[in-house]
Structure 1
Amino acid sequence: MSNEGEPKRRAPEPEEEPEYQAPEFEGKLKRRASEPEEEPEYQAPEPEEELEVPANAVATAVRIWNAAAGQRWRFVLMSIFAVSYVTLQLGAVSYSAALVDLLWGNIQECFAHGESYVVAFENGGTEILTFFGLWTLSWAFYTVNSFIMASFAERLNLKLREQIAAKLERLPLAYFDRHQPGETISRATNDLDKVSEVLQRGLMQVVNSGLTFLLAVILMFSVSVKLALVFTAFASVALLVTRFFAMHTLTATASRQASLGKLTGCVEQAYSGRAVIKAFGRDEASVAEIGKAAQELATASAFSDFLTQSVGPTIRFVMRLSQVVIAFLAGQMLLAGGLTVGVFQAFFQYLNHASEPLTQASLTVNMLQGALAAAERVFRLLDEEEVEADPANPVEPAQPAEGRIAFEHVRFGYTPENPLMRDVSLVAEPGQKIAIVGATGAGKTTLVNLLMRFYEVDGGHITLDGRDTRKMRARDLRQQFGMVLQDAWLFEGTVAENIAYGCPGATREEVIAAAKAAHVDFFIRTLPDGYDTVLAGDAEAVSAGQRQLFTIARAMLRDPAILILDEATSSVDTRTEQAIVHAMENLMAGRTSFVIAHRLSTVVDADLILVMDHGNIIEQGSHEELLARGGAYAELYQSQFA
């Protein structure tokens, strides 16, 4: 990677090089193209609102069960332990009826003889220990049950996260154009955390509560049909109240989520655009907007919290009324000899066990619905359309690749009804420098995206050394390219690791050589730990221009057959740009290169210049040929250097 060799054709550059601004030229480009008046490149839609109610709860539940293949035995075991726990818990309550009657009888007998009652093994002690043992076993089953359910939920969570990670590798670039990064991240974090939490707490609570309620009601009917029917009447009222609160709570929660999203957007906008806000004196307006959004959130949250917090006391009030009525009726039965003291207290324990599930029903239903809605969003991601699978019998790229690229009557559109490219043909011979110029949205980046197979063509062919790229494995194809994007992205890790990202086995000497060729070695050595300095948080401590140099060094180290440079020097100053252009010319020597640029001073030496508008190539030729033609390129050149 020496610094020898000058550009083949280099126009003299002015001291000041303004950014391209030529609306008249853009209008002429539009008139020359055979496209509609307005046809911008694909724009990502607004992210969809995340609802907390599943569209198809049954289908989602079935799919969760199917996803738990290999872990279902844990759920089955949890169900067995849940039945054992509930049976022992209510069995202990039933046993307490006989125990209380025994102790009460012993106490009365001792009192009749003027003696003090002392508990011994032969005088109620064994029964007390048995009672204690039943509760201990119940606690043990519940503890083991919780552990099993946690294991089931987290293993299912892990499996779904692994599926999401694998899915992201198979998603086309179009998916990422349509969705915000935070939306996809939320699927693998917040949504799966919600599913896991509900599986561990909510689902186990539903199983335990359902079994407890059912068994408690059965036991109440076994004691007294009349008292059980009174409880059933009040329970029906409680269920109606629960349904009422559940519906309104979901509506209030959705309103709160919408208000939260609005406030988050306002705060993010105020933070990201703080310089513009201050420059235009919009500080007070920005604060007022945030304050209004915050007030809306406070109002929505207050109402939502009121409903959430009031449902429990309301249900408890209804059930307390049932206890008052039942206590009055049961007291009469006790005095009449229809109930014993032990059965009387046991019935009220049944009543408490059956009442608590009703109290928690509203919260549990909302929790389960939210989890199912979250699972639906996860499955929706997993159902997204994937990139085309690699061919069964792939064609291998030439080794070594010569770098001849040909577009043969290529057609492409981001959506079928809006084609962008209708008939694009071009040939890049090995070792040529191909410049791609045009207005914003003309299709320059789309052209190289098709070349890299980030998108698949709708018609025509793209060949590499005469071999159709769609017949190659995508990985094999992309290994022939080195790419430097306008948005310089660095990963968390050391400087050396970032430069060697495309060549993990590179030696430190090779990394340093690439950094020197990219004119970034001196800066790296000024960092605290040099090449071992850790970059974190998207390398915020490093300027945009320096990040650009790192990515250029990364491409240089890869030493590819074909280079793609998408505004590779857009973030560097004029002097650094000259050094980078000189280094890139050395790197491009003998390699096919595609250079996207707005500043024509960086591409006047190109072997072939493509002028694009609305996805089509409207002119192509060398710098001198296009100037002599006096067409769109000549007007663009004059607009920058006149």
Structure 2
Amino acid sequence: MSSSKQIKPDKNKNIQTLKRILQYIKGYRPAVLLSLSLAVATVALTLYIPILTGRAVDQIIGAGQVDFSSLFGIIRTILVTMALTAVSQWLMNHINNTITYRVSKDIRTRAFNQLEILPLSYIDSHPAGDIISRIIADIDQFTEGLLLGFTQLFTGVLTILGTLIFMISIQPLITAAVVVLTPISLFVASFIAKKTFVMFKRQSETRGELTTLTDEMLGNMKVVQAFGYQKEAQKRFEEINGRLAGYTLRATFFSSVTNPATRFVNSMVYAAVGITGALGAIHGILTIGQLTSFLSYANQYTKPFNEISGVVTELQNALASAARVFELMDEKTIPKDRENAVELKNVEGNVELDHISFSYTPRRPLIEDLNLTVRPGQRVAIVGPTGCGKTTVINLLMRFYDVDQGAVRVEGADIRDVTRESLRASYGMVLQETWLKSGTIRENISYGRPEATEEEIIQAAKEAHAHSFIMRMPKGYDTVIREDGGNLSQGQKQLLCIARVMLCLPPMLILDEATSSIDTRTEIQVQKAFSRMMEGRTSFIVAHRLSTIREADVILVMREGRIVEQGRHEELLKAGGFYAEIYNSQFAAAEGDV
């Protein structure tokens, strides 16, 4: 919904944003200096032509009184000057394009690098579409504004200063009339720029909303169609798209007003110059040739105000977009490993949760005073109702989040005292939500071990029972799969994820609903493979299927962030506690399927 709260451009924030942009431009200082030199040359050559034109006019005294020798010489000089102007302007534009697109590349690279080191808490709490919009669309908008600034702002300012100098040299009094009327154009441009900033800021924010919704619908189209959500999705899209169109139209309206408004003021300046100049020529204050030069200068003097006002409008859009990108880049990143952090080596699988407490938000406690000791090779199943903290425990083990109190230890070392890379390399993860990259099946299986041999990749696929369906693909292991495995079934994607872990075989495993998308027959085969893979490896299993839970050495029953029971399957059933309640309510009916 459209906000009634008025958005005002924050001058301090705009200045800070501009300073940061200049920091990126500093890296291309030689190119910027060359561009400025060419801008000076272009403006100087452009402003020299009216002088030559005025001299040419003064060679035409009247009928039969034309100094053709001098006139042709002046014309040759004009042609050479025009050619030099064209070359210097082309070079300047080429350099400006190079600087602009390299700066935008640097910022986009920096923003993507920032994305990779943002904590999961930020990713989990911000729509993916909005983040994508900042890195793609907002940087594109910023690039367009920056390019205009380079190509028109420098030359515009130099043209204004140059024409003033030349006009003063011809006739100071008429120049004074021009200068007096100039602030009107600046006032108009400033007034419109404030209005456009508000609309461009809302436009950028709403574009992010639209990207988020589109990404959400595309990623879950089967669910959308299955639940008949198309009409509601269409309504949401039309509402956001309507707001975006409204902000865009208003931004375009204010932008379109800039040119006619400044042209009106410029026409006033030109008329004032024409009238005062004609009167001066009548009284012999200046020649007809000088009046011709002066009128040309007056036209060139006012023209940059149109361009600069347009540039200011685009710069407002660029600053609004750049500010959103810098907001992303300023977000707190994952804390670096401690200075004395060591690499985790010779991991056998000893894991300890020592009085840990954790919550995503301070007002809603989740895990409180959780204790657990896991010995090497143990299979630990974690069960409990939705929201009890099962996946949170996995996040803490992998140090995707840090505990609020207590400590997680691996081989006796607090995981905050070891490097994240070595910790995570000690775990193999297969999650309920599969993830595959665009590329060949071979590349996806070897994602964690790019140096793996062909034999090792095939062996891992066989152990995951993926080899047979891979060989039925058009090009076998060289088959290219689309983003997130779009041309595979959910079960096939899960099997490839399992093969990816089997290839690495780290000392500890995390299986979070790892077989949820596989049919019962395939699951039996995969469970056998899992059994072989888990031999001698500490394994944490978040699952609801009976076969996985029954085979566990220890079952942790969680409720509201606490372990309320633990033991083997038969022991917990005999105890008749919360596990037996869960089993009887959720699993008893499914027992015949296993």
Structure 1 residue 571: Cα displacement? 1.0
Describe the superposition over 1:194-237 as per-residue Cα deviations: whole angstroms up to 9, x where unpaired: 33333332233111111211222333333334433333343222
Contact 2:9/2:198, CA 8 A, preserved across alignment = no
1:488 is matched with which residue: 434, 453, 459? Answer: 434
Q: Does 1:605 pair with 2:562?
A: no
Structure 1 residue 264: Cα displacement? 5.8
2:160 is matched with which residue: 190, 213, 216? Answer: 213
Distance 2:425 2:220 in 1: 39
Q: Which moved more, 1:467-476 or 1:272-281?
A: 272-281
Distance 2:350 2:390 in 1: 19
Give SS of 1:434's match: strand
In structure 2, do the counterparts of structure 1 residues 266 and 533 end up closer, same or farther at CA, with 3 Å as the change threshold? closer
Give SS of 2:60's match: helix
In structure 2, do the counterparts of structure 1 residues 532 and 420 end up closer, same or farther at CA, with 3 Å as the change threshold? same
Q: Does 1:57 pair with 2:3?
A: no
Partner letter of residue 45 of structure 2? Answer: L
Structure 1 residue 565: Cα displacement? 0.4
Match of 1:626 in 2: 572
Distance 1:85 1:314 in 2: 27
Q: Does 1:373 pair with 2:312?
A: no
Contact 2:9/2:194, CA 8 A, preserved across alignment = no
Q: Does 1:466 pair with 2:423?
A: no
Match of 1:426 in 2: 372
Distance 2:333 2:205 in 1: 31
Distance 1:377 1:266 in 2: 19
Give SS of 2:485's match: coil
Structure 1 residue 503: Cα displacement? 1.3
Distance 1:388 1:289 in 2: 38
Distance 2:133 2:241 in 1: 23
Structure 1 residue 395: Cα displacement? 2.8
Within a 5 Å distance, the mapping from 1:557-576 to structure 2 comes to: 557-576=503-522
Contact 1:53/1:373, CA 8 A, preserved across alignment = no
Structure 1 residue 169: Cα displacement? 3.5
Q: Structure 1 length as normaliser, TM-score? A: 0.83
Structure 1 residue 453: Cα displacement? 1.5
Distance 1:188 1:287 in 2: 26
Contact 1:55/1:373, CA 8 A, preserved across alignment = no
In structure 2, do the counterparts of structure 1 residues 177 and 432 end up closer, same or farther at CA, with 3 Å as the change threshold? same
Structure 1 residue 319: Cα displacement? 1.7
1:72 is matched with which residue: 29, 34, 37? Answer: 29
- Alignment length, in residue pairs? 583
Q: Does 1:95 pair with 2:67?
A: no
Match of 1:36 in 2: none
Distance 1:272 1:493 in 2: 19
Q: Which moved more, 1:175-184 or 1:469-478?
A: 175-184
- Runs of at least 5 residues in structure 1 that lack an aligned partner in the other structure: 1-48
Partner letter of residue 64 of structure 2? Answer: F
1:140 is matched with which residue: 54, 67, 87? Answer: 87
Describe the superposition over 1:341-379 as per-residue Cα deviations: whole angstroms up to 9, x where unpaired: 221111111111121222133321121122223333333
In structure 2, do the counterparts of structure 1 residues 372 and 255 end up closer, same or farther at CA, with 3 Å as the change threshold? closer
Structure 1 residue 556: Cα displacement? 0.8
Within a 5 Å distance, the mapping from 1:14-93 to structure 2 comes to: 56-93=13-50
Within a 5 Å distance, the mapping from 1:79-478 to structure 2 comes to: 79-101=36-58, 103-105=59-61, 108=62, 111-112=64-65, 119-120=68-69, 123-254=70-201, 256=203, 297-399=244-346, 401-416=347-362, 418-478=364-424
Give SS of 1:625's match: helix
Distance 1:244 1:395 in 2: 59
Q: Structure 2 length as normaliser, TM-score? A: 0.90
Partner letter of residue 326 of structure 1? Answer: V
Give SS of 2:484's match: coil
Give SS of 1:398's match: coil
Contact 2:437/2:482, CA 8 A, preserved across alignment = yes
Q: Which moved more, 1:91-100 or 1:511-520?
A: 91-100
Q: Which moved more, 1:514-523 or 1:455-464?
A: 455-464
Partner letter of residue 393 of structure 2? Answer: L
- Runs of at least 5 residues in structure 2 that lack an aligned partner in the other structure: 1-5, 590-594
Distance 1:293 1:148 in 2: 39
Describe the superposition over 1:266-298 as per-residue Cα deviations: whole angstroms up to 9, x where unpaired: 666766676666667676666566556555555
Give SS of 1:440's match: coil
Q: Which structure is richer in relative contact order (CA contacts within 8 A, separation 6 or more)?
A: 1
Match of 1:497 in 2: 443
Q: Which moved more, 1:295-304 or 1:342-351?
A: 295-304
In structure 2, do the counterparts of structure 1 residues 612 and 363 end up closer, same or farther at CA, with 3 Å as the change threshold? farther
Partner letter of residue 230 of structure 1? Answer: A
Distance 2:483 2:461 in 1: 22
Contact 1:519/1:549, CA 8 A, preserved across alignment = yes
Describe the superposition over 1:426-479 as per-residue Cα deviations: whole angstroms up to 9, x where unpaired: 011111100111222221111111111212223322222222222221111111
Contact 1:403/1:465, CA 8 A, preserved across alignment = yes
Structure 1 residue 487: Cα displacement? 0.8
Structure 1 residue 86: Cα displacement? 1.7
Within a 5 Å distance, the mapping from 1:491-640 to structure 2 comes to: 491-640=437-586
In structure 2, do the counterparts of structure 1 residues 378 and 253 end up closer, same or farther at CA, with 3 Å as the change threshold? closer
Contact 2:128/2:212, CA 8 A, preserved across alignment = no
In structure 2, do the counterparts of structure 1 residues 53 and 495 end up closer, same or farther at CA, with 3 Å as the change threshold? farther
Describe the superposition over 1:7-45 as per-residue Cα deviations: whole angstroms up to 9, x where unpaired: xxxxxxxxxxxxxxxxxxxxxxxxxxxxxxxxxxxxxxx
Distance 2:181 2:219 in 1: 56
Distance 1:548 1:572 in 2: 7
In structure 2, do the counterparts of structure 1 residues 352 and 274 end up closer, same or farther at CA, with 3 Å as the change threshold? same
In structure 2, do the counterparts of structure 1 residues 374 and 53 end up closer, same or farther at CA, with 3 Å as the change threshold? farther
Structure having the higher helix fraction is: 2
Give SS of 1:555's match: helix
Structure 1 residue 412: Cα displacement? 2.4
Match of 1:10 in 2: none
Partner letter of residue 29 of structure 2? Answer: R
Distance 1:439 1:540 in 2: 31
Contact 1:437/1:598, CA 8 A, preserved across alignment = yes
In structure 2, do the counterparts of structure 1 residues 99 and 304 end up closer, same or farther at CA, with 3 Å as the change threshold? same
In structure 2, do the counterparts of structure 1 residues 76 and 228 end up closer, same or farther at CA, with 3 Å as the change threshold? same
- RMSD across aligned positions (CA): 2.9
Distance 2:134 2:241 in 1: 26
Match of 1:32 in 2: none
In structure 2, do the counterparts of structure 1 residues 357 and 53 end up closer, same or farther at CA, with 3 Å as the change threshold? farther
Distance 1:157 1:208 in 2: 22
In structure 2, do the counterparts of structure 1 residues 473 and 308 end up closer, same or farther at CA, with 3 Å as the change threshold? same
Q: Which moved more, 1:431-440 or 1:152-161?
A: 152-161
Distance 1:70 1:297 in 2: 36
In structure 2, do the counterparts of structure 1 residues 385 and 586 end up closer, same or farther at CA, with 3 Å as the change threshold? same
